[in-house]
Amino acid sequence: MSNYTFPKDFLWGGAIAANQSEGAYLEDGKGLTNVDLLPTGDKRRDIMKGYVPSLKPLKDEFYPSHEAIDFYHRYKEDIALFAEMGFKVLRVSIAWSRIFPTGEDETPNEAGLKFYDDLFDELLKNSIQPVVTLAHFDVPVNLIEKYGSWRSRELVYLFERYAKTVFSRYKDKVKYWMTFNEINMLLHLPFLAAGLIFKEEGNKKQIQYQAAHHQLVASALAVKTCHEIIPDAKIGCMLAAGTFYPYTCNPEDVFHALEKDRESYFFIDVQSRGKYPGYAKRFFKDHHLNIEMKPEDEEILKNHTVDFIGFSYYSSRTTSTDPEVIKNMTSGNVFGSVSNPYLEKSEWGWTIDPKGFRITANQLYDRYQKPLFVVENGLGAVDEVTEDGKINDDYRIDYLKQHIAEMAEAIQDGVEIIGYTSWGPIDIVSASTGEMKKRYGYIYVDRDNKGKGTLKRIKKKSFYWYKSVIESNGENL
């Protein structure tokens, strides 16, 4: 028994994304998206960074999102398993290109709209509320080809139309929404996060921050539209969060850690406070960035701020200004973190820092004073199936137990957290690696990195542990 108490209506559940779970990548009219062009293996990283060899799948490559775990056809079976664990919510995303296959079709794709109708009905039938992300990385390829994706102001209007369409269609079924998943990832993996392609070596920052502005305006317009169409809904932003520690108490390191935190907070400052912060304006000036803004943008951003702060937490980050430290301790993670000598790492080199979760939650709440929603947390690990078909993932239980405990401490610190949807409650495709081998689930899926396997679902040891956590509202941690 733990001595932790969670709010009685705490939203326990799990989180998946369309492109990492559904498969059926061209079924029922769905259009091709940027994520459908990401193969598993070495080339994936460069393509995610915007160096894209082709806007059509190459015949000798394996694209894990094309079939993923076939959630598109198996969602009823999977939802029954989530219900058995007692989920209150399931975070999913809508694939923009199921609704508007080219992103700019005259009329929406009814088969796509119907799929999500059926999905939400199945969730509600099982007393699970959908929590829906409008854009979890995917962008219709046509918008990349025709407009350069989020470089273009055109996407603001096309996204607003998409948002209006789904808010109107699902207004009686979905009461929790988020706009852009991990909006700050646009700076680190621009093709994955926003469909941005860099051909010329020109000023990437100019392209990225112009695209960021378009996404921020689009996000605010989605907030406006959501409040108009579904007055009782809550709509949030979504940040890939994780506090930055300075490597030493050298003021240079401390200031650099502040700058690195602000690199991510910038997006949420705009989405939650409604205006560009001074440090961003200085950054644009110092880097000679000329961000084109329309006269109406200032009012749009100011008047339509988010209702809650959604965020993912996997680990903290560490930064140094010492070239020797940078050279010898680089961790290789996308945020440019150096290794923290006090902390262990996962098999994929992700730092494991439960206390950092409490620190990050406190910092976010101090900064924004709005309800927080933890919409991703989890451990990607290699799972072994024993002779008798068991998966004894004690390592995952340990990771989650420690992180949920620190989240409970944050709540006792006075941080308002409305829910926790652990990432990948069922094994799905890893975003960064495209691998199935990097498993997060309470439910194992028989499928390997090359798409081989029966897709059979198997409950892991953590399935029963999380079931007990939920039914005791965190008591049985």
Active-site residues, by number, are 376
Q: Six-digit token pair at 43?
A: 């080339």
Phi-psi region of 375 (alpha: psi -120 to 50; beta: other; left: phi over 0): alpha
State which of residues 432, 468, 472, 473 lies at the interface with ligand BGP (CB under 6 A): 432
Taking the complex as a whole, the smallest distance from the CB of residue 314 to ligand BGP amounts, in Å, to: 7
Contact status: 85 vs ligand BGP (CB under 6 A): no
Per-residue binder mask for ligand BGP (CB under 6 A), 257-296, x = binder: ----------------------------------------
Nearer to ligand BGP, 93 or 208 (CB): 93
The interface with ligand BGP within residues 361-380 (CB under 6 A) comprises 376, 380
- Is 141 or 240 the residue whose CB approaches ligand BGP more closely? 240
> By the 8 A CB rule, do 159 and 212 touch?
no
Are 458 and 48 a contacting pair, CB within 8 Å?
no
Nearest to 143 by CA among 180, 194, 208, 193: 194
Alpha helices in 232-353 (DSSP H): 251-268, 278-286, 297-303, 323-329
**In angstroms, what is the minimal distance from the CB of 395 to ligand BGP?**
15
**431 scored as a contact of ligand BGP (CB under 6 A):** yes
Looking at 42-50, 295-303, 423-431, 444-452, which segment touches ligand BGP (CB under 6 A)? Answer: 423-431
Gap between the Cα atoms of 326 and 361, Å rounded: 27
Instruction: Decide if residue 346 touches ligand BGP (CB under 6 A).
Output: no
Distance set, CA 233 to CA 164, 169, 176, 180, 236 (Å): 14, 14, 6, 17, 10
Overall residue count recorded for the chain in this entry:
477
Binding to ligand BGP by residue 181, rule CB under 6 A?
yes
Which one among 184, 243, 312, 339 touches ligand BGP, defined by CB under 6 A? 312
Minimum CB separation of residue 1 from ligand BGP in Å reads 31
Q: Using CB under 6 A, which of 88, 370, 438, 459 touches ligand BGP?
A: 438
Our CB check for ligand BGP shows the closer of 317 and 438 to be: 438
Please tell me the distance from the alpha carbon of residue 340 to that of residue 15, in angstroms, as a whole number. Answer: 28
Residue carrying the six token digits 């495209």: 434
Residue among 225 and 462 whose Cβ is closer to ligand BGP: 462
Q: Which class for 175: exposed (0-12), middle (13-18), buried (19 or more C-beta within 10 A)?
A: middle
**Minimum distance from CB of 432 to ligand BGP (Å)?**
3
**Two tokens, residue 35:** 């994520």
Query: Near ligand BGP by CB under 6 A, which window of 50-58, 148-156, 300-308, 430-438?
Result: 430-438
Q: Are strands 89-93 and 11-15 parallel, antiparallel or unpaired?
A: parallel
List residues near ligand BGP by CB under 6 A: 17, 20, 181-182, 240, 312, 376, 380, 423, 430-433, 438
